[in-house]
Structure 1
Amino acid sequence: MQRYPIYKGLEQPLSYRGLKGKYIGWGIGSLVCGLFAGGIIGAVSNLYIGVFLTTLLSGGGFGYTLYRQKKGLYNKKRDQGLFVHQNNLKI
């Protein structure tokens, strides 16, 4: 049987312009949602208000994405204390 080497990657999360892993999608989503909401508001009311809100919403969403990434790529709850799991099996 012939063996072939398997490339397992770099074993690091995907990274693009400082965003890592799932936060790449979060960043793109926040920019698109800010652009969409600002465009709708600009079309309904005033162009300058729409441009201002587009930059405000996109920047705020992207800032929130960077804030969440700084807390950790795989942030989990870390409850402190002693936890007792009762045994419910009857033999």
Structure 2
Amino acid sequence: MDINFNGIPVFKGLQKPLEFMGIRGRFLTYAAGAIGLSFLGFLLSSILFGKLVGFIVMVCLAAVGIISIYVKQRSGLHSKKRHHGIYFFYKMYDR
């Protein structure tokens, strides 16, 4: 939806949910954290063990982070615990 303001189109808000490369909403910050953590893992392990080991650690940390984000994303942006079964509540209020 564009609104003209003195002949200039003005766009208000996002028309679609925020998504980047298949990662939606709040999971974008998780992805940035996972990539940052993998970079730090690369730095530490390359200092301690060498650059090849650092690269392997970086790739493994990034892969684990991105895969876990995709798995969590499948349960939804607002994932909640779902209890299955029938529950009976006794004495909800006093008589």
Superposition TM-score, scaled by structure 2 size = 0.72
* Counterpart-to-counterpart distance in 2, 1:63 and 1:9: 27
Select the structure with the greater relative contact order (CA < 8 A; seq sep ≥ 6). Answer: 1
Structure 1 residue runs without a partner (length 5+)? 1-6
Q: Deviation at 1:87?
A: 3.0
Which structure 1 residue ranges, 4+ long, deviate > 4 Å from structure 2?
A: none
1:69 corresponding residue in structure 2: 73
Q: Tell me how large the CA RMSD over aligned residues is.
A: 2.0
Which is richer in strand?
2
2:51 corresponding residue in structure 1: 47
Structure 2 residue runs without a partner (length 5+)? 1-11
Q: Among all aligned residue pairs of Structure 1 and Structure 2, give the percentage whose two residues are the same amino acid.
A: 18
Q: Deviation at 1:88?
A: 5.2
Superposition TM-score, scaled by structure 1 size = 0.75
